[in-house]
Amino acid sequence: MERDIQVRCTPSRGQLPAIREQQLLYLLMELAPSGLDESQSRLPLDICMVLDNSSSMRGDRLFQTKEAARYIVNQLTPDDYFCLITFNDHATVAVPRQSVQANVAMREHISEVQASGGTEMARGMELALEQMLRAIAFSGVRRIILLTDGQTYGDENRCVELARQAQKEGIGLTALGVGDEWNEDLLATMAAHGNSRSEYIVNAEAIINLFREEMRLLQGIVAQEMSLAIRLSPGTCLQGLFRVVPEIAALEPHEGRGGALVVPLGEWMGSDAQGFLAELLLPAMPPGEQRLLQIEFSYRLPRERHPREVRHEVRLPAVSGLAKTADDVPEKVRRALEKVTALRLQEAAWREARRGNIEQATRRLEAAASRLLQMGEQSLARVVEQEAERMGRTGRTSAIGKKEIVYGTQRLGRHREHEDSR
Amino acid sequence: MIVCPYCHQELVEGTIFCPECGASLADEETRRYAEPASPPPAAPAQAAGSSTGKTTAHITPTQLRLLVLNSGRTIPCPLGEIMLIGRSDPSGGVFPEIDLGQDNGYMAGVSRRHARIVRRGDDFFLEDLNSMNGTFLNRNKLPAHTPVPFQDGDEIRLGNLVLRVIIEEYLP
């Protein structure tokens, strides 16, 4: 079986009602690797760790972080590159970017990292980028792993700018927050890109597990330079685009060549399936076959020079006299959309809270809790419910509660309803 | 345009979940409830003005009512997926679907957001919302935030207010 990527598109309805008003259609796009040989997909890695060593990291947090850094170095081979930046009041290149020949020396440098001072994240990111951009013609996987436990003050915009610059260069970002003091809005914004992600680490003991998972993903690359382009037929609008597997996240397409809406997706890490959901607003439909849109996934398979493409045209018949409300929504589309609804409700709640509309924010959180309860997500629903109550009473959520909600919702994408489609 | 049966928001055709309140609009159950001429037959107070004389046998498979033993009032429960039980407090923005204010709920120790009933198909669950005076099902105190299934004939106690569950099947 030739190795490649399979794409399957499932619309929320198999037939559209031919009506004179606008209607919504959802399109689930599922990607699965085929004929993939795991051993072939290990590509050279270029990893830059950017670690917060401010005084709040003292003790178990720093100890576990150094353990995790040593674990990463142990997993690397002489084909890989590694560098380590630490930041507190200033940033330091603890290990300059180099190929992993002498990992004993690297491990020693890691052990020497001490915690003190404040949190100046932008300087750390600047040094990371400076080191990473030294690479010439590196064809493997490039990634910055940022770990912080605190707020950075005054340089948030610069941090986002640097993250975007890295992403533009094809360097992915994994932004990790430990404990409950860090700024989830900042890390989430920095990671709001197709080839980046942010994660919440509840306590120091969980740090190593997250780094193990990161290495597992980095060591099995299905495709590189992935991007999704959507070409809409006249009158059709893309109202929303979301990643739904393995995480729930909103994606922001930009206008590309020929009017297509394009989202760069970076590397496909790990061999788990990927899923995307588009929300389309369709114009009035006369009866007959309707050409709605064309999707195009482009990617490069590991060790191949030329990019490949999978195209899919979505056409559906519009039929007169069809019930306006869809009664045959495929279960997997419904489930994906249910998770997206939970995401949208909590995002609306944070927006309302920022505007000072506490009552609206409370209602949105309550609605998100109800939706989660219907989905059988009892524990997350409970957190949302408690924070809704707190929001109504005090006008704000707890720092830890908000992180649990934001990252708990993101993780809904890992719950495996999509396995049947593999 | 379609209208969300729960929050009455106007929505575009084809909407599956209401973006305002998160309610599902594509469930077979929900759609049946959303039909305009389907007042629940066991809800005399609400049905009186809007009855069409049409049988509801095909429309409402299961109807939940709560008989408040303290006051003798029967409360026809609305057809939502989630129903808050408590006391309404307009200034605090609390409007429970099952409002026990008129049953002397305040004196009986019913919290504004006391408990809730979650409906999944024909199954009902009761969940205490960390109320001050507790929620009891058949005299057993429920742990907070843990939905427990209940059936026809069960006894629910909120503070000192006792309710009898009436679940009726309507077969054609």
Spatial distance between the Cα atoms of A342 and B142, rounded to a whole number of angstroms: 27
Distance from CA of A24 to the nearest CA of B (A): 5
Q: Between A172 and A137, whose confidence is greater?
A: A172
Residue A315 pairs in a beta bridge with A291
Peptide bond before A302: cis, by omega within 30 degrees of 0? no
* Contact yes or no for A341 and B113 at CB 8 A: no
Residues of B in contact with A373 (CB under 8 A): 82, 118, 147
State the architecture of A44-218 in CATH terms: 3-Layer(aba) Sandwich (3.40)
Instruction: Name the nearest CA neighbour of A125 among A69, A214, A207, A48.
Output: A48
Residues of A in contact with B10 (CB under 8 A): none
Q: What does the pLDDT read at residue A56?
A: 86
Residue B55 neighbours by CB under 8 Å, 6+ apart = none
> Can you give the residue ranges of every domain in chain A?
4-34+224-319, 44-218, 332-412
Q: What distances in angstroms separate CA A158 from CA A122, A363, A366, B72, B91, one per listed residue?
A: 6, 34, 35, 66, 43
Residue A291, class by beta-carbon neighbours within 10 Å (0-12 exposed, 13-18 middle, 19+ buried)? Answer: exposed
Mutation target to probe the A interface, by most A beta carbons within 10 A, among B8, B16, B91, B131 is: B16
pLDDT, one tens digit per residue, over A306-355 is 999 999 999 999 998 877 666 789 999 999 999 999 999 999 999 999 99
Distance from CA of B12 to the nearest CA of A (A): 6
Residues of A in contact with B93 (CB under 8 A): 359, 362-363, 392
Mean pLDDT score across all residues of chain A: 89
CATH domain B63-169 topology: Tumour Suppressor Smad4 (2.60.200)
- CB contact at 8 A, A148 and A155: no
> Can you give the residue ranges of every domain in chain B?
63-169
CATH for the stretch A4-34+224-319: 2.60.40.3670
* Contact yes or no for A370 and B129 at CB 8 A: no
Q: What does the pLDDT read at residue A1?
A: 61
A-side interface with B, Cβ within 8 Å? 12-13, 17, 19, 21-26, 281-282, 324-327, 329, 334, 337-338, 341-342, 344-345, 348, 359, 362-363, 367-368, 370-371, 373-374, 378, 382, 385-386, 389, 392
Element (H, E) at A166: helix A156-168
Q: What distances in angstroms separate CA A134 from CA A46, A152, A378, B69, one per listed residue?
A: 11, 26, 48, 78
* Predicted interface score ipTM higher than 0.90: no
pLDDT, one tens digit per residue, over A50-60 is 999 988 888 88
pTM score above 0.80:
no
Distance from CA of A247 to the nearest CA of B (A): 20
